[in-house]
Chain A
Amino acid sequence: MVKALLISATVGGVCGLLSCYMTLKGWALMGDAVSHSVLPGVILAYALGLPFSVGAFVFGVGSVATIGFVKQKSRIKEDTVIGLVFTGFFALGLVLVSKTRSNIDLTHILFGNVLGISIADIQQTVLISALVTAVLLLFRRDLLLFCFDPTHARSIGINTGVLHYLLLSVLSLAAVAGLQTVGIILVVAMLVTPGATAYLLTDRFDRMSWLAIGSSILSSLIGVYTSYWTDSSTAGCIVLVQTGLFVIAFLFAPKHGILRHRFASSMPISSLPNR
């Protein structure tokens, strides 16, 4: 169980940091798309004897490229294209699972299997986590500016196209790492919820990052521990704790929580929506 705790906490921390950018950029749906689209990649990688993360990464980035291509070349709106592409990839994965004779356990991919994680998978996950963290830390300010005001970024000579794909690549990698702990279906929660929780608690990006990382790690630890002792779904427990923390923030956040508005009769003018 210690292995499971450590690896979940690692993945939780990384996804927590990334979730800040996802929340601010409004890429929740994109995270969902990427995480579902990696399924055929995982199956093919297993069938070909490659590390599963390679296949997953190729299909994750591939789905994003497909979404971009269809959106540009047709009149269909982006959210429709996203829904269309990722379900297509996911369906392909399901068919591949039923057609390849292998010892892949579909439920482990879909819902995670962190309590039974292998040494090889741990190595891959740690490597991916380190890579994602390094990229996010190195390009922290550029990525923040890219989320905030891409026009300004462009006008001072920052290549926003590179940043766009960098963030998408990191998202694919994080989805692959998250797949190990909570599985494909719920990985989007790891990529969105901690950021959303932290966003309700502060107006500073640095604090938001720390809060997101903290809440994400805490959720992973409590989730794995609870699931171990109650013999319930690990992914379910982790994400439930995350959702629980969000609900607490939603209700009780000092500035942006809903109960604060109910009880505080005198709201400062400065926090009113204004122009």
Chain B
Amino acid sequence: MKFTEEHEWLRVEDDQVVVGITEHASQQLGDVVFVELPEVGTKVTKDDEVVVIESVKAASDILAPIDGEITEVNDTLTDEPGRVNDDPMGDAWFFKMTPSEPSQMDDYMDEAAYKKYVS
């Protein structure tokens, strides 16, 4: 698993990359009340705003961590945005994508480095 400085996690599943936000990020956001997901098939470039997430406190954007194409989104979050607080590292992933430049992931942190980053 890889972690970005924007508090996203990336997990490789076969030729797909699953993207979500970290436990730390979900705690900082507070109770999530709204999630807007991208459309499947959207081609994204690293740092594009792909997900809008709103908590009781504020709106935040989730950026595409790498270039690629969105292949699946977690629709359950639209109806139950609170799942992002319940299980951010597991069931509450946001989207899956096919990376066009998998090497873009190399620069991201591993779990140990991320833990140090947020401590």
Do the two chains bind? no
Question: Which B residues fall within an 8 A CB radius of A?
Answer: none
Question: Which A residues fall within an 8 A CB radius of B?
Answer: none
